[in-house]
Structure formats: structure tokens, C-alpha cells
Amino acid sequence: MDEAWAEELLTWWVETARSARSRGSGQTYAFASIAHPSVTLLRAKEDQTRQVIARVMGYTKLPVLLESQRGGSFVTVQGGIDTAEYALGRLRTRAETRAKLGTTAPTMVADALHPLIWEAASKRWDSGHHSDAVQRAATALSGLVKDRTGRYELGDSELVSQAFSLSAPQEGKPRLRWPGNDDDLNVKTMRVGILNMAQGVFAAIRNPATHTTDELPKQEALEQLATLSILARWIDRCEINTL
């Protein structure tokens, strides 16, 4: 929603409705004559203003702003003014309220990542070296695959390609397999997904972290650690398939 436009509309509504209120004997009443020019303007903007108020306030029903009375010769306006003013106040303070209360979006707790990943990353992370933290976590993940398969002689690319290969194991070339029936479609897709993800992780996360001096932004580094973490959890669940 365009909040600046919404604030302008609500301000206009309040001011216009106030100017339309009937007066007499030193009093200002809560109603206005339908013959008043401002009432015509309010009628033209009534539906739009109701929708804005409903959006700002989170209402499921549109509020009543103008209500006919006295046989249709007058409309009540004060209730609509009060409603619009309340919505206007909420709109003006919404940014401050969000800042003070904080977001309701879920947050990620780094030390709840896979223990292997966070243990490898934590010391460098705490000192503000986020790229190095990712590199160390990726190295630890590579070590996990080597420990599970015994393929210490392979570089990362060949390591994961062979470890998660969909081909049958060979002598000295075990496979890490997502558990389940070979004919199960979900099992098949998980195996393909883990192979593709492992190749992507080492190509797009470990390699850049190892070979560049550019420092990752903190949020991006945390997201990369999370990616390493979920892959590590999947590897933990994989079974060794040997010849």
C-alpha cells in the first residue's frame, strides 16, 4: 500500500467531513446536510476511503463513514471522522511501532544449525570474519563426506559427484544413498536432489569462499551456512551403499 497516499486521503477525509458538520446556537453537530457541497465530495471518495481504513486497521468488513438519517436529509459524519482519525494515527505511527516491537518474521538461530557446521564456523563468525566462517564450515562438510566414504584422495567436485552418484557402487567407490525403496518416487527425487545440491554447494559456496578475498555480508553468509547445514543433515541420514 502507498502509505503516503493513504495518509493524504485520510487527512482529506477528516478535514472535509469536519467542514461539512452542521452548526447552530454556538454548537457543532455530528451530522451534515446532504445539500452541503462537502458531502458530495465525501460521497465520491467514500468507498475508496472505507477500503483504505479497512486495510490499515485489518478489518474484514468495510467501516461505515456516512449514514443517512432524518429521512435522508442529513448524514452522520462524526463517527466516520473518529474512525478515519484512528486509522490515520495508526498509519502515522506504524513504522515506529514496527521498529519498537520488532518484526514478527521468524529468525534463524545460528547455534541451532547442524553442530558440525556451526562448530566449524563459530570462532571465525564471532570475530566478524563471515566469509572465512563459511569456508571453514564448507571444509568441514567436505570432511564429513570423506569420512563417510573413505574417499580422501578426491577433490570436492569429484568427491560429491561419486559419493552421491545414482550409479551402482563399485569396488572402492561406495555411494551415499538417501534411505528407502529404490522404486519409490520420493526416494528417487531426494537422491537426485541431494546430488544436485551437493554439487551446487561446493561449486557456488565452498569454491568462492576459498578462492576470493571478498567479505560476504552477514545475512548472506548466514544463509549460506544454513544451506550447508541442511545438506549436512541430509548426509547424516544417508546410508553407505557398497559393492
Whether 212 shows a pLDDT value over 80: the answer reads: no
Angle at 207 between CA 201 and CA 208, to 5 degrees: 105
Neighbours of 146 (CB within 10 A): 16
CA distance 116 to 112: 11
From residue 91, how far is each of 1, 47, 57 by CA, in Å?
Answer: 11, 19, 9
Average pLDDT, the chain: 92
Q: Beta strands of the chain (E only): which ranges?
A: 23-24, 27-28, 31-33, 67-69, 74-76, 175-177, 239-241
**Looking at residues 214-236, what average pLDDT do you find?**
94
Summarised one tens digit per residue, pLDDT across range 180-204 is 999 999 999 999 999 999 999 999 9
175 is written with which cell numbers? 555411494
Where do we find the cell 467542514?
A: 19
Per-residue pLDDT, averaged over 46-74, amounts to 91
Q: What average pLDDT score do residues 149-162 get?
A: 95
Q: What is the model's pLDDT at position 80?
A: 92
pLDDT at residue 129 in the model:
92
Please say whether the beta carbons of 16 and 42 come within 8 A. Answer: yes
What is residue 87's predicted lDDT score, i.e. its pLDDT? 94
**66 — pLDDT class (breaks 50, 70, 90):** very high
Q: Which residue has the cell 567479505?
A: 215
DSSP 35: T
Q: Are strands 31-33 and 74-76 parallel, antiparallel or unpaired?
A: antiparallel
